[in-house]
Amino acid sequence: MGTQYMSSHSLPIKTLLLNSLALLSLLHTNTILGQSLGDGLYTESQASRGAEEYAARCASCHSADLRGNSNSPSLIGLSFMFIWEGRTLGELFTKMSTEMPTDQPGSLSQQSYAAILAFILQSNEFPAGDNDLSSSANALASIQITSE
Partner 1 sequence: MKLNFLAFTAIIFLAHNSANTQILDFEIVTDELLQEPPIEDWLSWRGTPKSWGYSPLDQINTDNVDQMQLVWSWALDDTGSAQAAPLVHNGVMFIPGPRGVIQALDAADGDLIWEYRPGITPSIDNTDREITAEDLGDAAMPATAFAGVGRGVLKNIAVYRDMIYTATENASIRALDARTGRLAWETQTADPALGYFYTAGPIVADGVLVTGITGCERYKEEVCFFTGHDPQSGDELWRFATVAAPGTPGGDTWGDLPLRFRAGGDSWQAGSYDPILNLVYMGTSQAKPWASAVRGTDGDALYTNSTIALDPNTGEMSWYYQHLPGDTHDMDETFESVLVDIDGRESIFKMGKLAILWQLDRQSGEIIKATDVGYQNIINVNPVSGNVSYRDGMIPRIGQQIDMCPSTSGFKGWRAMAYSPITEAMYIPITLNCELATFGPTEQVLGGGGTGPVRRINYPHIDAQDNLGELLVMNIPEGDIKWRYRQRAPINTAALTTAGGLVFIGDWNRYYYALDAETGEKLWQTRVTTSAQGFPISYMVGDTQYVAMPAGVGGASWSGMLPRELAPELNRPRNGNSIHVFALPSN
Closest CA to 134 of 107, 110, 103: 110
Cβ closest to partner 1, residue 33 vs residue 64: 64
Other C-beta atoms closer than 10 Å to the C-beta of 131 total: 13
Burial class (CB in 10 A: 0-12, 13-18, 19+), 73: middle
Q: What does R_g of the chain's alpha carbons equal in angstroms?
A: 16
Distance, CA of 68 to CA of 110 (rounded, Å): 23
- Binding to partner 1 in span 74-133, by CB under 8 A: 74, 77-80, 82-83, 99, 101-105, 107
- Residue 3 lies near partner 1 (rule: CB under 8 A): yes
Q: Which of 27, 30, 34, 71 binds partner 1 (CB under 8 A)?
A: 71
Cβ closest to partner 1, residue 31 vs residue 98: 98
Least distance to partner 1, CB of residue 79, Å: 4
Site for partner 1, rule CB under 8 A: 1, 3, 5, 7, 9-11, 55-57, 59-61, 63-65, 67-74, 77-80, 82-83, 99, 101-105, 107
